Structure 1
Amino acid sequence: MANKDKNYEQAKSRVEKKIGFMIHVGVYVVVNAGLITLNLTRSPEKYWFIWPLGGWGIGLAFHAFKAFSSGSAVNWKEKMIKKEQEKLDQ
C-alpha cells in the first residue's frame, strides 16, 4: 500500500511539473508576441526583441529539461543508495 502511495505522489509531481511547464510556454508565447509587436511597430529599425526571446528561451529550455526528464537527481540518488545497500548486504 505504501508503495502505491509513493508511486501516486511521484506521478502527481511529474504531472504538476508538466502542467507548470505548459503554463510557462503559454506565458512565454503571449509576452514575447507582445514584445515582437511592440518592437516592430515602435522601432522596426532595430530588432531588440531577440534578446528577451533568447534569454527567456534558455530558461524555458531548462524548465523543459526539468519537467520532462525521467531521471531526476532524486531518483538518481535513490538508485545509488539502493546499489550501495546491496553491496553492504552481501
Structure 2
Amino acid sequence: MSFQDEEYEAARKRVKLKKGFYRHLAGYMVIGAFFFIMNITTDPTDVWFHFPMIAWGIGLAFHYIGVFGIPYVGALDKSWEAEEIARELARMRGNNRGHQQKQLLNENHEIDELDLNNKYHFEKEEEDLDKWNNYDNRGLKEIRKDFDDEFKR
C-alpha cells in the first residue's frame, strides 16, 4: 500500500469517527428534546428529564474526547505552535499559500523563524498574481507578449 493510500485511509477513518460523533450529538439533542417535551406534558411539577441527559452527556463528552482529544491540552506543545502559525499564515493570506508550511509539518520538519520571515517567495507570488489580475484593462497583444516573456524563455 502506497503512502498516499495509507494517508487516504487514515483520513477516511478520521472522518468516519467525526461523523459518528456528530450523529451521537444529533441523537442526544433529539432525544433530549423528546424527554423534555414528555416531562412537561406528563408532569410539569416533577422535573426528571435532566437525569438521563446528564448521564448521557457524560458519555457524549467521553466520545468527544475520544474523537477530538482534550481541548487545549496540546496548546503548549511546539508542534501545535508550528501548526497554528502555518494555519494563521494561510488564513491571513486568504488562500492556500500555507500549504508549504503544512507540507513541512507533515514531513515532521519544524518551521523555524527564518522560514516564516522569508517573505521573498510570497511577495514574488503576490507580484505575479497582481500582474495577471490586471489583464482586464489591457490589450490582447500585451497579454500575449507577457505570456511569451514569462513562459517561453
Which residue number in structure 1 is paired with residue 55 of structure 2? 55
Structure 1 CA distance for aligned equivalents of residues 69 and 53 of structure 2: 23
Q: Report Cα offsets for 1:14-57 as digits up to 9, x if no partner.
A: 10000111111111111110000110111111111111110000
Superposition CA RMSD, Å: 1.6
Q: Which has the higher contact order (CA 8 A, sep 6+)?
A: 1
Which residue number in structure 2 is paired with residue 39 of structure 1? 39
Structure 1 segment 1-80 matched on structure 2, within 5 A? 2-69=2-69
TM-aligned CA deviation for residue 13 of structure 1? 0.6
TM-score, length-normalised on structure 1? 0.71
TM-aligned CA deviation for residue 67 of structure 1? 1.5
Q: Which runs of 4+ in 1 moved over 3 A?
A: none
Structure 2 unmatched runs, 5+: 71-153
Structure 1 CA distance for aligned equivalents of residues 56 and 18 of structure 2: 18
TM-aligned CA deviation for residue 65 of structure 1? 1.0
TM-score, length-normalised on structure 2? 0.43
Structure 1 CA distance for aligned equivalents of residues 62 and 30 of structure 2: 19
**Aligned residue type for 2:14:** R
TM-aligned CA deviation for residue 69 of structure 1? 2.6
Aligned pair count reads: 70
